[in-house]
Amino acid sequence: MNIILFGPNGSGKGTQGAILREKFSVRRIETGVIFRENVSGSTDIGRRAKIFIDRGELVPDDITIPMIMNRIKNPNFKNGWLLDGFPRNLTQAEALGMDIEREGINLDFVIEIIIDRDTAKNRIMGRRLCASENSHPNNISIDAIRPVEKHGALFCHVCGCETLTIRADDQDEAAIDKRLSIYFDTKTGTLAAVNYFKARMKVFEVHSFSEVQETSEHMMELLSCS
């Protein structure tokens, strides 16, 4: 089972991706991990990527996509893979799509998690981290996982931890707006990449509900009917 998963920050894409990996017993393809492995292993493509990484620049697509294709073709991924966070724009989608087709690789599902831009931004800025257990979900903008308020203070709704922290980048509105602008760009951005696949195959549109289980059940219902 080979899957591409789309969704902006704040959509719950990471959580739903984990559910998909467990359901279909597939492995996640992470560009960051691929970069680190190729650079540390001093592969030819890794040495080329390192030049850009050391300069703090984005690695060009003509390096990134061959890395991803090498991972897709790796025997360890023969039982299936999940690609999320890539492609990020139309150019990458076109190049990846052509390479997958050229290699005769079957793409089983393309999934788009639907959420409006304002809700995504509010969810990002509403995230709170439990100091006791970082995996405990807390978000002041989502009723289902809203922290408990006592005497004017917020406590983890899972374990009652008294210390909830905020990531600095979750409050950087300019950075959040920039990331969301790239995603919601229908001309050259990530939504343009989604539309590239929509023109070629069925893309399953999954609405991001406030309840994780409601979203996952909606997703699995759609996929089971395919």
The residues assigned a catalytic role are: 13, 88, 127, 167, 179
Name the DSSP letter for residue 168.
Answer: G
Measuring CA to CA, which residue among 88, 40, 92, 93 is closest to residue 62? 92
Ordered alpha helix ranges (H), 25-116: 31-40, 44-54, 61-72, 90-102
Report helix, strand or coil for 137.
strand
Could you tell me if 179 and 166 are in contact, meaning their C-beta atoms sit under 8 angstroms apart?
no
* Residue whose entry in the numeric block shows the structure tokens 């393809």: 29
Could you tell me if 113 and 16 are in contact, meaning their C-beta atoms sit under 8 angstroms apart?
yes
Could you tell me if 201 and 17 are in contact, meaning their C-beta atoms sit under 8 angstroms apart?
no
